């Protein structure tokens, strides 16, 4: 039987058109309203910057139990206006379900839907997940809990998928948050949780038969994901899965809020932002060169194989307890981190999604005031967007406060040759990361990191399989980025 209320929701949440559209539809018995949704790569190519509604819908005690007001349309409008087009919504489900039947309270599903609808009003991409929620899944990745966790996983995702079955491709589901995994045995168990998630969603049919789903790496840690995630969930449809990792490296700088016996807080990050007065508060690992290395691992493991990667959380606490020159240097290094890390994510084909927990005060990562939607930390917001722009703009660029990029880039190709030569004239020796993009902003070649000498440098670019036309060569030294156009001839 045709469900008119379901049809009206499809019409309401279709993407906004630039001009009025009149649609005439005829129905016959057995006609399906559901077409196949776009593939993961197509969706990822349309995602820019993302933002988390952190500490709102995922507290087990309810939406306001961790101090944030209820999410409203004004907040989501402000986030969209600031330039974000992806919203990740962490959600608690187990805390809002009957412990015996695992039935989720309908009023809670309706509230989550309301927040999703705020995002759809702005044509945003939405990643709806199953968050920590007391650790029922992520703290129980073990053989003894496997059966009970899978039972809940199947029940919850069947209900969630059925509730949102009419929503279009702008809604993605993510099966977990940060599942704690340290070894191959736990990884095997985690894969059953992922498979249950995929199977439960697909079994509901409709748009869920082709909806993009997001699969978390072990502990959403890059190295664990590279070393332990040797398998991938089976799916009945191709190219509808994305991977997810998180990034708080180095933790002593990003998230540590008190000294421990095993280490001390780092207040400063980046080779040009170290403190001479407090050398013991400078980051000792995970700085500029490590950033590209880490994200290249994700590019090699997933992106190069056609699997998009969501960088679902990242951020740095703002240490407002510091004062004077220490506070100024800390804030400058924090903004440098945002520019550097965000730019590297984008250059390596990852989708950045910033973590914002709404808390205002010392050790905050907050960008927006949850009470009125106003921007709370404009400088941090600007740094994030500058990082994104540095990786996507077709122009010669430099970071604010720096001199002109001390190198020049050209490329030469010859008809009939499978190689083009990238020529880099540098004022000083160092290291450079070189990537090539097509005019759509998609990476077509990651040439890796090179040692460069002062003077002229030449790098060979294998152009086999690429069509003739315009390409963009970006060289990144960690301090400077330059993008140069080149015409590939055949």
Write the DSSP string, 124-183: -EEEEE---GGGTTTT--STTTHHHHHHHHHHHHHHHHHHTTT--TTEEEE--S-----S
Angle at 110 between CA 106 and CA 111, to 5 degrees: 120
109 and 227 co-located in one domain: yes
Please tell me the distance from the alpha carbon of residue 442 to that of residue 346, in angstroms, as a whole number.
Answer: 10
Q: Choose one of 327, 360, 392: the last residue of a domain.
A: 392
pLDDT for 36? 93
- Asked whether residue 177 falls in the same domain as residue 303, the answer is yes
The verdict on 361 and 456 lying in the same domain is no
Same domain, 206 and 59: yes
Catalytic status, residue 178: yes
Where b means 16+ CB within 10 Å and e means fewer, 34-60 reads eeebebbbebbeebbbbbbbbbbbbbb
Q: Are residues 306 and 335 in the same domain?
A: yes
250 and 287 share a domain? yes
Per-10-residue mean pLDDT of the chain, 490 residues long, equals 41 41 33 72 95 98 97 98 97 98 98 98 97 97 98 98 97 98 98 98 98 98 98 97 98 98 97 97 96 96 95 98 98 98 94 97 98 97 94 46 58 78 84 82 82 86 85 78 76
On whether both 268 and 134 belong to a single domain, the answer is yes
CA-to-CA distance for 317 and 361, rounded, in angstroms? 10
Q: Which of 359, 392, 425 is the last residue of a domain?
A: 392
Shared domain for 370 and 411, answered yes or no, is no
User: Considering just the CA atoms, what is the radius of gyration of the chain in Å?
Assistant: 24
DSSP 305: G
Closest CA to 315 of 48, 54, 84, 44: 54
Are 380 and 421 found together in one domain?
A: no
Domain that holds residue 459: 397-488
d(CA 366, CA 54): 9
Name the catalytic one among 154, 169, 178, 288: 178
Looking up residue 470, the CATH number of its domain turns out to be 2.60.40.2550
Q: Is-contact 230 190, C-beta < 8 A? A: no
CATH number, domain containing residue 20: 3.20.20.80
Number of domains into which the chain is organized: 2
Amino acid 341: pLDDT: 98
313 is catalytic: yes
Domain C-terminal end among 336, 370, 392: 392
386 and 462 housed in the same domain: no
Please pick, among 169, 313, 335, 386, the residue that the annotation labels catalytic: 313
Virtual CA dihedral for 269, 275, 280, 281, nearest 10 degrees? -40
The model carries a pTM of: 0.80
Task: Please check whether residues 225 and 184 belong to one and the same domain.
Answer: yes
The per-residue pLDDT for 182 is 98
3-state secondary structure of 447: strand
Answer yes or no: do 200 and 104 share one domain: yes
């Amino acid at each position: 039987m045709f469900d008119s209320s379901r049809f009206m929701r499809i019409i309401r949440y279709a993407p906004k058109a630039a001009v009025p559209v009149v649609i005439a539809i005829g129905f016959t018995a057995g006609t399906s309203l559901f077409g196949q949704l776009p593939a993961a790569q197509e969706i990822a190519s349309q995602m820019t910057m993302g933002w988390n509604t952190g500490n709102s819908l995922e507290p087990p005690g309810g939406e306001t139990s961790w101090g944030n007001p209820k999410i409203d349309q004004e907040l989501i409008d402000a986030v969209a206006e600031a330039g974000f087009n992806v919203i990740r919504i962490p959600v608690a489900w187990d805390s809002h379900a009957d412990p015996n039947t695992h039935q989720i309270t309908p009023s809670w599903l309706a509230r989550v839907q309301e927040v999703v609808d705020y995002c759809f009003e702005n044509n945003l991409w939405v990643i709806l997940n199953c968050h920590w929620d007391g650790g029922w899944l992520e703290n129980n990745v073990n053989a003894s809990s496997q059966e009970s966790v899978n039972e809940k996983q199947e029940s919850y995702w069947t209900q969630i998928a059925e509730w949102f079955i009419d929503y279009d491709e702008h809604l993605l589901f993510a099966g977990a948050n940060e599942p704690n995994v340290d070894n191959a045995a736990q990884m095997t168990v985690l894969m059953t949780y992922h498979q249950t998630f995929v199977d439960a969603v697909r079994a509901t049919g409709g748009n869920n038969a082709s909806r993009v789903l997001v699969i978390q790496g072990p502990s959403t840690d890059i190295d664990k994901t590279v070393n332990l995630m040797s398998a991938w969930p089976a799916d009945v449809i191709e190219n509808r899965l994305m991977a997810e990792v998180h990034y708080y490296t180095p933790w002593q700088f990003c998230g540590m809020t008190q000294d421990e016996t095993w280490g001390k807080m780092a207040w400063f990050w980046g080779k040009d932002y170290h403190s001479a007065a407090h050398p013991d508060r400078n980051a000792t690992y995970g700085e500029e060169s490590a950033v590209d290395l880490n994200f290249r691992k994700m590019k090699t493991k997933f992106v190069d194989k056609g699997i998009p990667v969501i960088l679902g959380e990242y951020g740095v606490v703002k240490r407002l307890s510091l004062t004077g020159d220490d506070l100024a240097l800390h804030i400058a290094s924090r903004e440098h981190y945002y520019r550097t890390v965000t730019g590297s994510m984008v250059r390596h084909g990852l989708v950045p999604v910033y973590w914002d927990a709404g808390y205002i005060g010392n050790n905050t990562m907050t960008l927006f005031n949850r009470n009125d939607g106003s921007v709370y930390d404009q400088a941090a917001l600007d740094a994030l967007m500058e990082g994104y722009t540095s990786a996507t703009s077709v122009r010669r660029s430099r970071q604010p406060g720096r001199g002109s990029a001390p190198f020049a880039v050209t490329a030469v190709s010859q008809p009939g040759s499978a190689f083009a030569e990238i020529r880099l004239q540098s004022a000083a020796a160092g290291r450079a990361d070189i990537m090539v993009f097509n005019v759509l902003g998609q990476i077509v070649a990651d040439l890796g990191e090179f040692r460069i000498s002062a003077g002229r440098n030449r790098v060979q670019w294998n152009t086999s399989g690429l069509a003739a036309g315009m390409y963009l060569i970006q060289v990144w030294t960690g301090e400077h980025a330059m993008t140069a156009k080149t015409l590939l001839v055949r």
